[in-house]
Amino acid sequence: MSQDELYHDTLLDHFRRPRNKRALPPDAVRVEMDNPLCGDRLALGFELEGDGLRRVAFDGSCCAICTASASMMTGAVEGLSAHEATALGRRFIDALQGDRPLDASFGECAAFEGVRAFPLRVKCASLPWRALERALREGR
């Protein structure tokens, strides 16, 4: 598989114009994680209104794949319940690491289909989702 297939257009668009990348409010539920294999350093934050995730945002210094993943992830989970967001993240990481393709049920995040062939880049793409999972589990 070529680099062209790795860097899907949707992915490049989210890398060049990341959504929801901003300084995190001090009272946000937040978590910081890094991926030493690549050098990605990610901070993820959100507020909980009832059980709903609101104002999901990220900050930090990440490669193209990780930045695009954080950009799409923050959009995908905005407004979901903690349970729904955790389930979506689990399903996304399982698909990234597994044998099943990233189908249309993943919306924009299906753009990571080409990444599945590159195990080191799978770690970059999954980092924002692993950060979300940790924040929902520990970050209250």
Contact 68, 11 (CB under 8 A): yes
β-pair type (52-61, 40-49)? antiparallel
Considering the complex, what minimum distance in angstroms separates the CB of residue 99 from Zn ion?
A: 23
Considering the complex, what minimum distance in angstroms separates the CB of residue 126 from Zn ion?
A: 10
* Closest CB to Zn ion among residues 56, 70: 70
* Amino acid letter, residue 86: T
Concatenating the DSSP letter of every residue in 66-86 gives HHHHHHHHHHHHTT-BHHHHH
Helices (H), ranges, the chain: 3-6, 9-16, 64-77, 82-97, 119-138
Considering the complex, what minimum distance in angstroms separates the CB of residue 40 from Zn ion?
A: 4
* Closest CB to Zn ion among residues 87, 120: 120
* Closest CB to Zn ion among residues 10, 81: 10
Considering the complex, what minimum distance in angstroms separates the CB of residue 50 from Zn ion?
A: 34
* Closest CB to Zn ion among residues 40, 59: 40
- List residues binding Zn ion (CB under 5 A): 38, 40, 63, 66, 124
